[in-house]
Amino acid sequence: MNAGELVEIAVEVDGEAAEAVVELFNRFNGSDWVEDSAAGEASGGGAVLESTGYDDFGNPVVGEYKTVVKTYVKPGPRGLRIQRQIEEGLWRLRLLYPMPEPVARTVKDEDWAHAWKRHYKPMRIGRRVLLTPAWEEPDVLPEDIVVRLEPGMAFGTGLHPTTRLCVAALEDWVRPGDSFMDVGTGSGVLSIVAAKLGAGPVWATDIDPLAIRAARENAARNDISLGNDALHIEQGSIPEGQAGRFEVIAANILAEVLVGLLDGTYEKVSLAEPLALEGHLILSGILEDKSEMVMSAAARHGLKEVDRRQEADWLALVVRKEHDMGYA
């Protein structure tokens, strides 16, 4: 392999398998990511998502909801070890999710750094929100809420239906002055939208340090101040000691994880605990056939469905806290 070349490992997935592959790639290869924020270039590592199911305007192509997840490995003994770990991990994932064998090829490092940006264009969501890559200068209407993103390795570009469903729900359920929390913030897109809708304070959490970095950088791109009274971003999941604090909470993850967060499987507190009485919880990342499982968990914690949105097989559910379950 020549200097300036990388090994690209790519796999096409659909549905919830995309996030599992992203997590696998970032676990084994994320530490190799070296990004120059000023130049917007990188020298390898991490996970990059390229949608093959959307047109140039970010609209879904009917019947095609495929995503190609890629990672880039540097040459040398360490790179070979990472590649073997990734291939073994993908073999295990194929036992759970239908996906083809990964495709590996050699690419020039200057070619891959910007290749994924071809698939990420400005898109309008809901009535007013315009999600745009940081490097684009889209036509803006006077009433637009413009959110500029450079997601890097963090999930949440707006390309995925679950992100779009959440953003549209925020427009309807977040009011100026509402306290808001985003659990599993990824690129920070939902927190930034909520802040621009007038919510405050806004809290964002994620267990992935790479997501925390991306969210903080995207907040700066959108001129949103960081701090406990503005946008507070911290590594972790559901914070303790915040019972009943937030009028609106969003969690765009996966159905099984949402159930675990509601029932306290992963944390000391339930996802319902920090939600204020009569507050609204936006749950997304849910495939249609798993909605009953999520709603059963929500009902166990005094939450009642008040809104449901769907795109293809994906759902976003909005539930209201009807009863104080005595968390405080």
Q: What is the mean pLDDT of the chain?
A: 81
Report the domain count for the chain. Answer: 2
Q: What is the pLDDT of residue 186?
A: 87
Query: pLDDT tens, 211-267?
Result: 898 899 999 999 998 877 789 999 999 999 999 999 999 999 888 999 999 998 888
The DSSP element (H or E) to which 22 belongs, if any, is helix 17-29
Would the pLDDT of 31 be above 50? no
Q: Which candidate, 46, 78, 52, 54, places its Cα nearest to that of 67? A: 52
327 is a domain residue: no
Q: Which candidate, 289, 27, 280, 6, places its Cα nearest to that of 153? A: 27
CA distances (Å), 322 to each of 279, 304, 326, in order? Answer: 8, 7, 12
326 is a domain residue: no
Contacts of 299 (CB under 8 A, 6+ apart): none
Please check whether residues 99 and 148 belong to one and the same domain.
no
Please check whether residues 12 and 131 belong to one and the same domain.
no
Q: What is the CA radius of gyration of the chain?
A: 19
**What residues are paired with 316 via a beta bridge?**
284, 309
**What residues are paired with 148 via a beta bridge?**
132
Please check whether residues 76 and 161 belong to one and the same domain.
no
- Cβ(181)–Cβ(194) below 8 Å: no
Please check whether residues 198 and 261 belong to one and the same domain.
yes
Domain finish residue from 67, 100, 118: 118
Angle value at C-alpha 20, between 17 and 21, nearest 5 degrees: 90
Please check whether residues 136 and 221 belong to one and the same domain.
yes
Q: Which DSSP letter does residue 327 get?
A: -
Domain finish residue from 93, 118, 143: 118
Q: What is the pLDDT of residue 133?
A: 83
Please check whether residues 81 and 196 belong to one and the same domain.
no
Considering only 5-9, 65-69, 193-197, 224-228, which range has the smallest mean pLDDT?
65-69
72 is a domain residue: yes
Please check whether residues 107 and 128 belong to one and the same domain.
no
Read off the tokens for 213.
């970095």
Contacts of 147 (CB under 8 A, 6+ apart): 129, 130, 131, 132, 189, 192, 193, 196, 222
Q: How far apart are CA 270 and CA 302, in angstroms?
A: 12
Query: pLDDT tens, 157-199?
Result: 666 788 889 999 999 999 999 999 999 998 899 999 999 999 9
Q: How far apart are CA 191 and CA 107, in angstroms?
A: 35
The DSSP element (H or E) to which 219 belongs, if any, is helix 209-221
Please check whether residues 155 and 235 belong to one and the same domain.
yes
Residues 297, 300, 302, 306: is their CA dihedral positive or negative?
positive
Range 93-113 average pLDDT: 75
Q: How far apart are CA 163 and CA 166, in angstroms?
A: 5
Q: What is the pLDDT of residue 72?
A: 80
Contacts of 311 (CB under 8 A, 6+ apart): 60, 161, 164, 165
Q: How far apart are CA 49 and CA 67, in angstroms?
A: 7
Q: How far apart are CA 6 and CA 9, in angstroms?
A: 10
Range 54-75 average pLDDT: 58
pLDDT-derived band at 118 (thresholds 50, 70, 90) equals: low
328 is a domain residue: no
Please check whether residues 295 and 176 belong to one and the same domain.
yes
Please check whether residues 148 and 99 belong to one and the same domain.
no
Would the pLDDT of 296 be above 50? yes
Q: Give the range of the structural domain holding residue 291, as residue numbers without chain letter.
A: 123-321
**Amino acid identity for residue 73 in this structure:** V
Q: Which DSSP letter does residue 60 get?
A: B
190 is a domain residue: yes
127 is a domain residue: yes
Q: What is the pLDDT of residue 39?
A: 28
User: What CATH number did the domain enclosing 143 receive?
Assistant: 3.40.50.150
Q: At which residue do the structure tokens 């090994």 appear?
A: 7
- Cβ(107)–Cβ(8) below 8 Å: yes
Please check whether residues 131 and 51 belong to one and the same domain.
no
Domain finish residue from 81, 101, 118: 118
